[in-house]
Amino acid sequence: MTLSPRQRQVAPNHFRRWMMPSLLPDNPSIGRPAARGLGLVAALALAAAPAVAQAQSRQPGIIRDAEIETLLRDYTRPVFRAAGLTQQNIQIVLVGSDSFNAFVADGRRIFINTGALKQAKTPNEIIGVLAHETGHIAGGHLANMRQQLESVQTAAIVGMLLAVGGIAAGASTGASLGGAPAAALIAPQEIARRTLLSYQRGQEASADRAAVTYLNATKQSARGMLTTFERFQNDQIFLSQRVDPYVLSHPMATERIALLSELAHKSPYFNATDPPALQARHDMMRAKLVGFTQQPESVSRVYPPSNTSLPARYARAISAYRFGSIPDALRQIDALIAEQPNNPYFYEIKGQALLEAGRAREAVPPLRRAVALSNGHPLIRMLLGQALVATDDKSTAEEAVRELNFSLQREPDSPGGWRYLAMAYGRKGDIPNADLASAQSAFLGGDFRLARELATRAKNGFKLGSPGWLKADDIVNFKPPPERRKKPPGP
């Protein structure tokens, strides 16, 4: 499918298209646990149920980008090693939100907002954030939280039963049902809630200490963590006089700074700075985020024309491709390539700009170069596969199948990726595999009825017991939970 120039005008909150235009829709299952997860900066959020419901109803999108994900993996690799988590295959998930936040919702993923990446001026600030979240995972805090929640619920139930018993006794003697007995029904729940929050605040302090331990083990400074908490402290000043600290899920920033400052200053690495090369990559990441998430006038304010640094030109080139003239954007991108001819992400952005401008055939060479320079990054290979499909050239079908199959082995949760693979197989005339890829796309998109129909058709084209037949059979026999069964269209 060829993308038109109009499709370059993506909304600021929709820049998952950076890497794979229209390929990676947000996974609705990702992010929902955030309200109950453990995070670095949820300190301002009261633990009341209405606030949780509002947060869940405004879940931001999940973003994919090869350059940023590679940088974050480089940030976390030594930290995970120090924490003994190198075998856990922990993923870093980018959340499209401008707030400074990070959290864990399970033992496999650390979620971090793009706002944190844009606001953090040094790698050390983000590494400190990631080290804190690593402390939650290494400490098993989520599993412990579930156990604590069970005990709190039991205590609350017992308290409520006792309160009801007291009310019944009062009723038998003709006493009023108002006043203290009614309050007794509420009190156990409030006590339970505060007990749970107190436990979570203790976990946050534990994660802070663990983070400093990991930073010391990797000879890095905890100064970035202090900078982060000082930012929170400034945010909390206006709340400190009217918020009960006992209904917060995190310690007040002033408390955390006092505890952390002592630990950080004891470290022999407190004055350590980030390597210049890492700082340069961090600056490029921030520029990329600004270019993709902000309007041209905002980009110009952050990176005015007088700023001729590489990050500033990167941001302006991205903004030009999204909102301006493609020829002008390509001139700017080519100037970046001339300065750093071995930077895979410059070729990637050039290929994406051409692809989204409807010039798929021209997009293929720079994307091939990006794949080679990135050591075959699966997200870039998926974008190359999409461009090959969009050329409408049967001679590229085999290469498209190869690139998309490779990327989907490593990124299997992309409905769009499977959709383009189906198109590539169809162009080859391989109808059973095209049907199977279409079924997998529909399955990941939640349309289980269509997935079953396509998989049934695919089974008829495969040899009984072959790998393709078995995959199709799995989809045919899948029984989705009732709430996930997609209703047929219509009134």
Is residue 142 a contact partner of residue 106, using CB atoms and an 8 Å limit? yes
CA atoms of 279 and 71, how far apart (whole Å): 11
Is the pLDDT reported for residue 356 higher than 60? yes
The lowest-confidence range among 158-162, 257-261, 399-403, 463-467 is: 158-162
429: alpha, beta or left, given left = phi > 0 and alpha = psi -120 to 50? left
Band (pLDDT 50/70/90 cuts) for residue 171 is very low
Per-residue pLDDT reduced to its tens digit, 213-255: 999 999 999 999 888 877 765 554 333 333 343 333 444 456 6
Look at residue 483 in the predicted model and tell me its pLDDT.
Answer: 60
Per-residue pLDDT reduced to its tens digit, 288-305: 999 999 999 999 999 999
The lowest-confidence range among 36-45, 289-298, 394-403, 462-471 is: 36-45
Q: Which residues of 132-161 are buried (b: 16+ CB within 10 A; e: fewer)?
A: bbbbbbbbebbebbeebeeebeebbeebbe
Is residue 37 a contact partner of residue 84, using CB atoms and an 8 Å limit? no
Band (pLDDT 50/70/90 cuts) for residue 189 is low
Per-residue pLDDT reduced to its tens digit, 191-218: 444 444 444 555 777 888 899 999 999 9
| pTM for this model (two decimals) | 0.75
Return mean pLDDT, the chain: 77
Provide, for the chain, the percentages of residues in helix, strand and coil under a 3-state DSSP scheme, each rounded to the nearest 5: 65, 5, 30
Element (H, E) at 77: helix 66-83
CA distances from 74 to 80, 240, 450, 477 (A): 10, 37, 40, 41
* Domains of the chain, each with CATH number or no CATH: 277-484 (1.25.40.10)
Is the pLDDT reported for residue 86 higher than 60? yes
CA distances from 436 to 151, 301, 360, 391, 397 (A): 47, 49, 26, 23, 17
Residues listed for the chain? 491
SS3 1: coil
Is the pLDDT reported for residue 21 higher than 80? no
Higher pLDDT, 165 or 93: 93
Band (pLDDT 50/70/90 cuts) for residue 484 is low
